[in-house]
Structure 1
Amino acid sequence: MHAKTRLSPQARLHIWAGFCTSLIGVGLSRFAYSALIPAIIDQQWFSPGSVAYLGAANLAGYLIGASGARPAAARLGSCNALRLAMLVAAISFFTCAQPASFTWFFIWRVLSGISGGFLIVLAAPTILPSVAVENRGFAMGLIFSGVGTGIIISGTLVPVLISHDLSWAWIGLGAICVVLMASAWFLLPSDPARTTAQSTANATGGAKSGNTPQKKWPEITVWLVGLVYSLVAISLVPHMVFLVDYSARILALGNGFGGLCWTVFGAGALCGPVTLGKFGDRFGFRITLIGMLMVDMVMTVIPALGDDKLLLLVSAFVVGATVPGVVSLILGWIHELIDDATARQQAWSFATTLFAIGQAIFAYVFAWMFSLGAKQAHHIYILAGIAAAAAMILTFIFPTLQSRLTRAGSRPATSSSAAE
């Protein structure tokens, strides 16, 4: 076990910049929209079905952003890509401040999702090298606690702004993004992206000389981690996208309780990353992930079991803690499994892409089920529990499965070599 060291002043500034990126890219750009949904429907900007599809559009954009973040960083530099993403996220709020066509909103919700994908994939790998190894779980927790902070801001501030005007809610959130962007703009650490890009170019050049390039990361390992991450994504979608409307309208508990659920969800998201990051530092990230998923496979199902307010609030808090907390755990697990910094960043980008694929596909599947009525809406939470259970089992058997698949994958190559 490592002895704890204090964060240096420089590391604290870098972590603050990372906190701002997660707050803008996910805490506000994605989750503030959930708090706006009841007002958007009540004021007839869009129908309930259209609102659900606009929520899913952000997740589709996140997939595009997660996939394109590393190529963009190689071309622009990580810091410039992060700054561009923060700027787009801020602009997206102002462009949605007045009623407009579904297409217009869809485009900007996708763009806000792309910016979120950039910010999540690039921020932590850019910042963590400036943090001591034994403090990285804690640092990741601080960075990703921006997600919970954004949810709390949206759960408390949005109702106040909506009471004046829905347009003011969009403008107010955009103004917060601008302030956060300005405070983080010059605090990002020196840009490692071009060094990474040069290393990649050198590796490509080496291949031309006839040498066989080595794999950047162990494929089976990263595929398994990515599969776990994508299953967790599926389990989180119902709470992330539909919780407010589900509790307020489907369970008939009213908009007030829906807003309370969202605030409690945000409180969990604020506490989760730091707490789970500390557990990861102490007990190991895979073990912590198993424990978290054992709890989650129960908590994700609770909304389907009835309208008990206390249980719903507990479910909101626990799943809220998981939403950003699992980001810290998966990234920490990758750091445990892979030593090379470039390979870790590749693996993190790949795993985040798989997370985004699961999230985006099932956001649309669940949006379709949600639009069918109360009975189908209940079923999405049952499916979420099944996905969490599958992720827990896969994480638990990971060492055995990894070993067997690695041996199985090596046999054809060995047999082929012997035949030659």
Structure 2
Amino acid sequence: MSSQSAVPSPVRLVAMAASATLVGIGLGRFAYAALLPGVIQRGWLSEADAGYVGAANLLGYLVGAVLAGRVGRRWGATPVIRLSALLVAVGFAASAWPGPVWWFSLWRFVAGVTGALLMVLAPSLIAGHLPESMRKRGTTWIFTGVGVGVLFSATLVPLLIDSGLMLAWLGLALACLPPIWVLWRRWPPVAAANPHDQGPGRGAGLLLGVVYVAYLLDAVGFVPHTVFWVDYLERQRGFSHWAGALQWAVFAVGAVSGPFLAGALARRLGWHRTLITALTLKGTGVLLPMLVPGLAAVTASSFLVGAMIPTMVSGVMGRTAELVPPRLATQAWGRATALFAVGQAIAAYALAALYARPGGGPLIFQIGGVVLLAAALLMALSGVAARRAGHR
């Protein structure tokens, strides 16, 4: 009875984990990305310097994902989650004045590390305490924080920039405070490890490896829309600044609705088929405006890709948790996140080089879409092979 009373209600558990994803990814990553054009226009950073700063963030995310499990075990998940959220806010405040490139790079590196720690530790800790009846829904709703941050970046950040860069940075720091307050509430205890738990068997291990590869490939398809989409629409498709911003807002609405769609898919199809569906829809969404002319195809692409980002994240987390014992769930999710970070970093540099070439705009979306569809096919084939071998 006492152990049960120590666990907050499921709604509060989901709100706590969603607050972590809001601070770490929604604000720490996407809201910053919306600030970047203003930072360059006002001369705080050159375009080349902005590239170095962005690379520091990607490196930090990789470091955080690799170390998350170890750091959580060493210092405890709850203190690490709280400190990470605080450091995101401190990083925004510390960037509110023009400084050297190394200063911005330092805080973007810190934001990358802390974002990965929040993304790995908080969802893993919370998902294990959700009742079985709402575990799939709850696991997907955790990632509404990402969508809310994207929506914030599409709507309020441009208004903050109009008030001045200093106020914009400080506004982002203040925006972190409400979710940090939620994170300061009582967290559930870390589930005790079962010494009899073993790692995944050979069949499950192969399935887990396929999930890892598919998530790495998903990172390649993630880059075109999250890095180049608005710029591509404005500079290569003739969209006005406001029309491009509207498409980013549609993307944000998709990202907010994605967790609820993911929950419905997971309950009906299971995690494995949810991943196949998400990869197929995401790949189709990335390719659609390259194949079909007109505003409707562009808008459908914005919404579909936005919705599939949290669907993929929650799907990978749910599927890895199915394939490993509970005590290994955080480690497995951390590895998946680290592989995503590797794929994202490599794709960002490679696709940026292609994008700068003549005709590179459509090409990077074609590459992203084909890679996503290949990942969907890989997942489908692994499911067929697993059923023949008697695995789930």
Normalising by the residue count of structure 1, what TM-score does the alignment of the two structures yield?
0.84
**Change beyond 3 A, Cα 1:32–1:397:** same
Instruction: Describe the SS at the equivalent of 1:293.
Output: helix
8 Å CA contact 2:281–2:308 kept in 1: the answer is no
Aligned to 2:360: 376
Q: Which amino acid aligns with 1:16?
A: A
TM-score normalized by the length of structure 2? 0.90
Identify which range, 38-47 or 225-234, moves more after superposition: 38-47
Partners in 2 of 1:56 and 1:238 — Cα distance? 16
What is the aligned partner in structure 2 of residue 21 from structure 1? Answer: 20
Q: Is the 8 A contact 1:56 1:363 kept in 2?
A: no
Instruction: Provide the rounded CA distance (Å) in 2 between the counterparts of 1:262 and 1:19.
Output: 21
Contact map agreement 1:13 1:187 (CA 8 A) in 2: no
Match of 1:328 in 2: 314
Mean CA deviation greater in 46-55 or 218-227: 46-55
Find the aligned partners of 1:60 and 1:183 in 2 and give their Cα distance. 28
Q: Is the 8 A contact 1:277 1:329 kept in 2?
A: no
Percent identity of equivalent pairs: 35
How far did 1:52 drift?
A: 4.3
Distance 1:188 1:9, change over 3 A: closer
Q: Is 1:228 the equivalent of 2:227?
A: no
TM-superposed CA distance for 1:348, in Å, is 1.6
* Alignment map for 1:2-17 (pairs within 5 Å): 10-17=9-16
Q: How does 1:231-380 map to 2 (within 5 A)?
A: 231-304=217-290, 308-338=294-324, 340-370=325-355, 372-373=356-357, 375-380=359-364
Letter in 2 for 1:77: G
> Displacement, 1:18?
0.5
The Cα shift of 1:172 comes to 0.5
State the distance in 1 between where 2:174 and 2:358 align: 37
Which runs of 5 or more residues in structure 1 are unaligned? 1-7, 204-212, 408-420
Amino acid corresponding to residue 54 of structure 2 in structure 1 = G
Q: What is the match of residue 379 of structure 2? A: 395
Alignment partners' CA distance in 1, 2:199 and 2:273:
27
Q: Would the aligned equivalents of 1:273 and 1:326 in 2 still touch at CA under 8 Å? A: no
What one-letter code is carried by the residue in structure 2 that aligns with 1:105?
F
Q: Deviations over 1:129-162 (max 9, x none)?
A: 2211231121122210110001111111111111
Alpha-carbon contact 2:279-2:312 (below 8 Å) kept: no
1:44 aligns with 2:43: yes
Partner of 1:137: 136
Match of 1:4 in 2: none
Q: Which position in structure 2 is the counterpart of 1:147?
A: 146
After superposing on structure 2, the runs of 4+ consecutive aligned residues of structure 1 that deviate more than 6 Å are: 403-407
> What is the aligned residue count?
383
2:30 — aligned with what? 31
| CA shift for structure 1 position 377 | 3.2
Which residue in 2 is equivalent to 1:209?
none
- 2:163 is equivalent to residue 164 of structure 1: yes
Residue number in structure 1 paired with 2:181: 182
Unaligned stretches of 5+ residues in structure 2: 1-6
Instruction: Give the CA deviation at 1:49.
Output: 4.3
| Distance verdict in 2 for CA 1:289–1:298, change over 3 Å | same
Contact 1:152 1:263 in 2 (8 A): yes
RMSD between superposed Cα atoms in Å: 2.6
Matching of residues 47-58 of structure 1 within 5 Å: 47-58=46-57
Cα pair 2:141 2:260 within 8 Å, conserved: yes
